Homo-oligomer: A and B are copies of this chain.
C-alpha cells in the first residue's frame, strides 16, 4: 500500500526471478538510477508493532529493500522550500506482496514500524559507511503521526 508523494522519494518495483530450488530477488544494481555509491550494506530489524524513529539523514541517500516480514515507513517533509513541505508519506513494503525499493533522499524525517507478526527486516544500502553524526533524531512524539500498529 501507499505511493510516494514527497518530492524526491522514489519507489521502484523489484523483480523476483523464478529459479529452481529457490528464487532470486533483485535489490540494487550500480546501473540503477537510484544508486549513488556504496559505503555500507546493513540489515535493520523492527519488532512486530514496534516503531523506530524519527531519524533524519542529512547527507546520505538511503536505498531500502524489505527482505523479511512487512515494514511500514512514514516519511515527513519539513524541508524549507520543498513543494511537498508538511506532507507525510506512508508506505508498507514486504517481499511477499509489495516488493519495492524505497529511495529516500537526505533531509527527510523517517520512522518505520514492524507491520508483520514475525521478523521484520530491511536491507539498507548507503553511499558512505555508517556515521552517527550525519543523522538527527527526534522523539516519536515530536512529529505527530497516527501509526497504525497496535498488535
Name which residue of chain B comes closest to A127, CB basis.
B30
A125 part of interface (Cβ distance < 8 Å)? yes
> Cβ of A43: which chain B residues have Cβ within 8 Å of it?
24-25, 27, 67
- Nearest CB of chain B from residue A44's CB, rounded to whole Å: 5
Is chain A's binding surface mostly helix, strand, loop or mixed?
Answer: strand
- Nearest CB of chain B from residue A16's CB, rounded to whole Å: 9
* With A123-B123, A129-B29 as contacts: A22 and B47 at CB distance below 8 Å: yes
Question: In which size bucket is the chain A interface?
Answer: 35 or more
A42 partner, pick from B27, B47, B128, beta carbons under 8 A: B27
- The winner among A21, A31, A39 for most chain B CB atoms within 10 A is A21
Q: How far is the CA of A50 from the CA of B19 in the complex (A)?
A: 12
Q: Is the CB of A51 within 8 A of B125?
A: no
- Nearest CB of chain B from residue A12's CB, rounded to whole Å: 14
A52 part of interface (Cβ distance < 8 Å)? yes
Name which residue of chain B comes closest to A125, CB basis.
B41
Name which residue of chain B comes closest to A129, CB basis.
B29
